Structure formats: C-alpha cells, structure tokens
Amino acid sequence: MNKSRFLALSFLLTLSGFGAAYAQAPALAAGTYKLAVGAKAPCQLTITAEGAVSQAADCDTGANLTKWAPTSTGYQLISASGETYAVLKPHGESLEGQTFADQRKVVLSH
C-alpha cells in the first residue's frame, strides 16, 4: 500500500515539474522597446540578450533600471540597487505588470 502511494506521489510531483517548465515565458528578444509607467509618456528601453537594460535619458521611471531576468511566468525589471522594479507577464503583443513598490501599471512593447 505504501509503495503505491509513493509511486502516485512521485508521479504527481513529476507532472507538476513539467508544468512549471512548460509555463516559462517566451524568450525576450534583444532590441529597443517602449516602456510606459503609469500615466507617463512611453520612453525607450534597450534590452540585451544577456540581461542588461539601458533606458533613454528622458525615461522617468523613478529608478535606474539595469537588468531584466526571467521568472516562471514572465520577467522582472531590476534596478541598479538590485531591487525588483516591476514584474511583467505576457499580454498579447506586449508585457504588462505593475511596479513592485507602488503598484503603477507598466507596459513593455515594441
């Protein structure tokens, strides 16, 4: 009886691992994007395949964004101090989410 419970539990854990791997967000392509934060006008953000981010001089996000990193369901934008600025998830042709600190809407699009 214990062996069948162990096998059932092992099988469920294996399936949940496959589900998490399958749920990974698609790769974020390197290039120039438009970043809109709250009601502010969009500004340019350049993203590299290695995970670096550079924002245009007129980009008033309230933080100096320097990195992006994949999460299990999307991406996070990270400030120079290492804090998570925003968590973004795929939404149609763009990535949408909220800033971590003050819950302002963030949209990253081409």
Q: What is the pLDDT along the chain (110 residues), one digit of tens a residue?
A: 466 665 555 665 565 554 444 445 556 889 999 999 998 889 999 999 999 999 998 888 888 999 999 998 899 999 999 999 999 999 988 999 999 889 999 999 98
Query: Which amino acid does the sequence have at 86?
Result: A
Q: Tell me if the pTM is above 0.75.
A: no
Please enumerate in sequence order all residues whose Cβ is within 8 A of that of 108, keeping only pairs 6 or more positions apart, or say none: 33, 34, 35, 45, 88, 94, 95, 96
Q: Tokens representing 39?
A: 């009601």
Residue 16 exposure: Cα atoms within 13 Å on the Cβ side: 6
